Structure 1
Amino acid sequence: MSELSVERRMWTLFEPVHAVTYFAADGGAAFEAAGLRGFWRRYFAGRVAPLGAVGAGPVVAAFFGFAPGMVERALPDIWTRITPSAALDARRAGAHVALEAVLDGLPIDEAADLLEAAAREIDRPGRILGSANADLEWPEEPVDRLWQAATILREHRGDGHVAALLTAGVDGCESLVWRCGLGGLREGMQPARGWSDDEWDAAAGRLRERGWLAADGSATIAGEEAYAEVEAVTDRLAGRPWRKLGPDVTERCATLLEPIAARIWPLLPADNPIPLVQGQTAR
């Protein structure tokens, strides 16, 4: 296996910090206490809240891989059940309780300082979700700053990943079919993003026409090479925070995040619908 890029390595370390929002029991409990039930309702409410009470249009654009119909079922309906302000409070409260418990006894102050320093250096233009989260007021507690920094950085990277996919000339459904051809599982990815069988199969056909998928749905060599370029572009677009920190400080940040991520991984289900997998190197 080739060595991870700096950007990819850092993503594997800060992404679990953010993901407790969706998968830790405390994250779900915080949203339920605010009156919002259901995984996907709190997922959309929590991720979209920094943008305000928007409708489906901006979210279809920013989330990219989700079927428009799935987004339209969630928005604007969720804003009749919870306000963006309450959703922001719920996601932070749930993350705080989950992280405080799992990181008990582990020093996190320096990690929070360095990750915040990185998050303050994101590129803003073209990064709708990263920039919206970066506009939020910074909390004071180290555990909250750690989570907020991780959230800004992961949304910043995700915004860049969307740009890379657009440059490759694929749509949202094609991007998921392509990933499944590289080893993802259709039975998890397709329903989690709301695509119908007809939409999925049509996307697979378009990828076969481009020579990126074989008849059995696996990626061809050309498909693998094209996706590797998408990942390389994603890395380049995520690079500014780490260039600003410099290699020595970035390495120190990684060293501090490693035990933090290791503590968090057991909270995240192996079959989660992001999908986020320990040791994963894509995106």
Structure 2
Amino acid sequence: MTTLDDPGRTARLMWTRYEPVHAITYFHPRSRAAYEAVGLRGYWRGYFAGRAAPLGACDAPTVVAAFFSFAPHMVSRALPAVWTLAAPQEALRARLTGAVQALAELTYELPESHLVEAAELLETAAGAVQTAGRVLGAANAALPHGDYPLARLWQAATTLREHRGDGHVAALVAADLDPVETLAWRVAVDMSPANLLGRGWSEQEWAQARERLTDRGWLTVDGKPTDRGRARFQAVEDATDVAAARPWVELGPERTGRLRELLDPIARAAHTVIPAGSPIGLPALDS
């Protein structure tokens, strides 16, 4: 049973359950195929078009700001050109189609009643998000819920993850961390460089970010995280959790606990297609 004695802890526990549901859109072959079917060939075209589509036919600067971790020149290679291949509404249909097909493949052994109940509870939580100051969360919250349980489930998971992501970006900005510094820190602590180098930053920019973190006392001269750095970044994580807690407070402990039980087998199935050490930084499911 989940309690709400520590709302931030509950928010993190629930994140480990709904984030995998969302993340299949990046890793499942059916999701990629759906993007390709509307002309978005190549992983990054589908990624940028699908994730940015709730914002409309936006230009690169908007996505650079909202997505936070990508080098501007990398985003500019995709946007606004992707909208000549697939309009935002086409990209939205493709991402939902691919996600539903992927989830159907992963959850075929679960009874429909399980999926319906999970979708209803997750929608209730997503309906409680506060969208002021959260651009991606707000844009996704404004989208239709979908007609079928898996569509509703995926859209609710996506609204919650983008809402949480907006809060995380705010915490990073408040800690005076820029995008490449944030990535350099994660590499020093717990992520493979190979999973993050694809975000477009140059070797010089990576080196300068490491230097700044060293000057700030977050890294040692040989690139190891310091106690100061760990404490400061933990404060970022804690702020992210607290900012993501309101949906679970609104849902209440009993329904939150029930939703955690329902999401658990779905999240575990989704993990089978999410690479270990993936760049989304998702931890293993907590017990």
Fold agreement, TM-score > 0.5 = yes
- Structure 2 residue aligned with 1:244, among 250, 260, 271? 250
Alignment match, 2:156: 149
- Structure 2 residue aligned with 1:55, among 56, 59, 69? 59
Q: Distance in 1 between matches of 2:277 and 2:12?
A: 21
After superposing the two structures, state which structure 1 stretch, 100-109 or 150-159, moved more: 100-109
- Structure 1 residue aligned with 2:14, among 10, 13, 27? 10
Task: Identify the structure with bigger relative contact order (alpha carbons < 8 Å, sequence gap 6+).
Answer: 2
- SS in structure 1 opposite 2:272? helix
Shift of 1:148: 0.3
Contact 2:192 2:277 in 1 (8 A): no
Between the aligned residues of both structures, percent identity stands at 52
Alignment match, 1:210: 216
Contact 2:31 2:95 in 1 (8 A): yes
**Unpaired runs of at least 5, structure 2:** 1-5
Alignment match, 1:116: 123
Matched, 1:34 2:38: yes
Matched, 1:82 2:86: yes
Q: Write out per-residue CA displacement over residues 96-121 of structure 1, whole angstroms, 9 at most, x where no aligned residue.
A: 11101110131211111000000011
- SS in structure 1 opposite 2:73? helix
**1:264 is aligned with what amino acid?**
A
Alignment match, 1:165: 172
Contact 2:22 2:158 in 1 (8 A): yes
**2:95 is aligned with what amino acid?**
R
Q: Distance in 1 between matches of 2:220 and 2:273?
A: 36
Shift of 1:23: 0.6
Shift of 1:223: 0.2
Q: Write out per-residue CA displacement over residues 58-104 of structure 1, whole angstroms, 9 at most, x where no aligned residue.
A: 11111111111111111111111111000000000001111011101
Alignment match, 1:195: 201
Matched, 1:25 2:29: yes
Q: Write out per-residue CA displacement over residues 215-241 of structure 1, whole angstroms, 9 at most, x where no aligned residue.
A: 121210000000100000000110110
Shift of 1:274: 2.9
Contact 1:48 1:59 in 2 (8 A): yes
Q: Distance in 2 between matches of 1:32 and 1:183?
A: 32
Q: Hey, which bits of structure 1, 4+ residues long, moved more than 6 A?
A: none
Shift of 1:264: 1.6
Matched, 1:103 2:107: yes
Contact 2:35 2:46 in 1 (8 A): yes
Contact 1:270 1:277 in 2 (8 A): no
CA RMSD of aligned residues (A): 1.4
TM-score w.r.t. structure 2 length? 0.93
**1:257 is aligned with what amino acid?**
L
Q: Distance in 1 between matches of 2:29 and 2:86?
A: 19
Q: Write out per-residue CA displacement over residues 102-145 of structure 1, whole angstroms, 9 at most, x where no aligned residue.
A: 10131211111000000011011111001000111111201100
Matched, 1:263 2:269: yes
Q: Distance in 2 between matches of 1:75 and 1:210?
A: 34
